[in-house]
Amino acid sequence: MATRLSDIVRAIPARLRLQGSAARAMETARHRLVIAGLLFTVCFAVVSVRLVDVTLLSEAHEPRVPRVTNTAPLDLARADIVDRNGVLLATSLVTQSLYANPKVIGDPAATARRLAAILPGLDETGVRDRLASENRSFVWIRRNMTPRQQYEVNRLGVPGLFFQREERRVYPAGPLASHVVGFADLDNRGLAGIEQSFDERLKTDSDPLKLSLDVRVQHVVREEVQRSIDEFKAIGGMGVMLDVNTGETLAMVSLPDFDPNAPGLADADARFNRNTLGTYEMGSTFKMFTSAMGFDSGAVRMNDMWDASKPYAIGRFTITDFHGKHRWLSTPEVFIYSSNLGALRMALQIGVTRQREFLDRLGFLKPSPIELPEISHPLIPKPWREINSLTIAFGHGITVSPMQLVTAAAASVDGGILRAPTILARAPGERVAGERVMSAQASAQLNQLMRLNVEKGSGKSAEVPGYFVGGKTGTAEKIQRGGYKKNSRMSSFLATFPAHAPRYVLLVMVDEPQGRRETGGYATGGIVAAPAAGRIIARVAPILGVTPMVEPPPDITRPLLAAAIVR
């Protein structure tokens, strides 16, 4: 017992020593854990701060590779073309073109066969013959290939086939503005439209070329003109809208049109711009200029009366009215009933010399200055005799382009100031100089007649509530070699809005419309073109920010004008 007790007593110091060692080991472990925890916390804090800095506080540390900035323009050979709001109308895409060195091609027939299987439409026989040529070291195989086609050609692994970086001109809007924008060839040379007239500018200045067109307005005009063409089984048509304050062309549509991405597939008629290249007798729309020149010269007053009671004979010609009233007509009646006899009586009063000088001031005797290469020359009588003066008074015997007509109309309703038309966007608020071609009073009187014609005359179907449209109809037989083409006409309507302070001029013309049973077989301007103009105005006026009015402005059509109409 004593031995066991002594053994226990001797063992106590050893156990105490072991417990002391364990305590020290645990303390050391505890210190190491604290240090590790602190290090982990510091690392976590550093990572967190870095994440906040990278993702929220600074863009300078973002990865560079996937970012694309718009401050470094692509090195393209041709600048973009955009509409007035920056909508893309023409741009260039980098492509690869395939060419070959026939001297390196081992098996021309097999190579041509394998290429034809990859490239749709490739002339296998023609390619084989070119690749078999022993005296040539360069032949084109396919220009502007797709990336997939380039990949497939690369997979062939045929020595002697090479790629060259090129650009392909593309037109995202397709046919929408084809006659204005035009197109360029495979070598980036402008061949039509803006692409041609501004070819050098597009090659030397990388900034987009901004046009005055508004694609929203362009779309509406195109859609409504096409609707009239379809309804009246016409062969074509056109529409153009001008801002009278700036001369900017907001829309220019010629139908049929074409896809500038594939101009080679279009025929000559589709590529023909009826607005600037076509010249036509404008029919009764010209009576607005006869009235304006009469007011301006003092030869015509609003309360004058004109003999339209019987046909007018001159030489071997006899001039009559279409649905004439067979009586004397007041000046407003001559306009709203579109009387040829009343218009020629005015021309007699005005005189040949003053008529020619006035139309020259309006720009009818020279080509339109708009910036397009497809511009026609007007056909004017030489010599300008009295018989010419009489027929020109109601729109026959002189052919002009629709662009000339719209430009002259804009001057006639905008206080008598003629401004050159443009297809380029002007700077916001830019002051556009012009030339006075008639008195402001004559312009105001003309606006009253045009509004009255929509209220009570042949332009009723162009009325749009709240916008007080003014306008003049026109129906003219088409000219052919040796005379007029039977049963073929151009039906048109020239509109302004709002009539009390015109801001926009719109011309709609439909080529060879056919009468319908619903219209009694008629296809005149008031039946065909005026409704289309009204639909266009109803759709584009809100887009252009024209505020509708509930009450008509004062003095838009004076009571005197309405009182001058005898039913």
Q: Which residues are catalytic?
A: 284
DSSP for 130-198, written as a single string: HHT-SS-S-EEEEEEE-HHHHHHHHHH--TTEEEEEEEEEE-TTGGGGHHHH-EE-TTS-EEEHHHHHT
Angle at 74 between CA 72 and CA 75, to 5 degrees: 120
Look at residues 487, 491, 505, 495 and name the one whose alpha carbon lies nearest to residue 470.
Answer: 495
Under 8 Å CB-to-CB from 537, ≥6 apart: which residues?
462, 464, 467, 469, 495, 497, 506
Q: How far apart are CA 156 and CA 541, in angstroms?
A: 58
CA–CA separation, 420 and 412 (whole Å): 13
Kind of pairing, strands 209-210 and 81-82? Answer: parallel
3-state SS string for 195-233: HHHCHHHHHHCCCCEEECCCHHHHHHHHHHHHHHHHHCC
Spatial contact of 112 and 124, defined as CB atoms under 8 Å apart: yes
**Dihedral angle over CA of 549, 551, 554, 555, nearest 10:** 90
**DSSP 3-state assignment of 379?**
strand
The phi, psi pair for 215, rounded to 5°, reads -60, -25
Instruction: Please check whether residue 275 is in contact with residue 508, taking contact to mean a CB–CB distance below 8 angstroms.
Output: no
Q: What is the DSSP letter of 284?
A: G
Q: Hey, what are 325's tokens?
A: 């009233």
What's the rounded Cα separation, in Å, for the pair 475 and 278?
A: 16
> Which residue's entry shows tokens 């650009």?
167
Omega before 498 within 30 of 0, i.e. cis: yes
Strands 183-184 and 88-100: unpaired
* DSSP-assigned beta bridge partners for residue 100: 139, 161
E strands in 427-469? 435-436
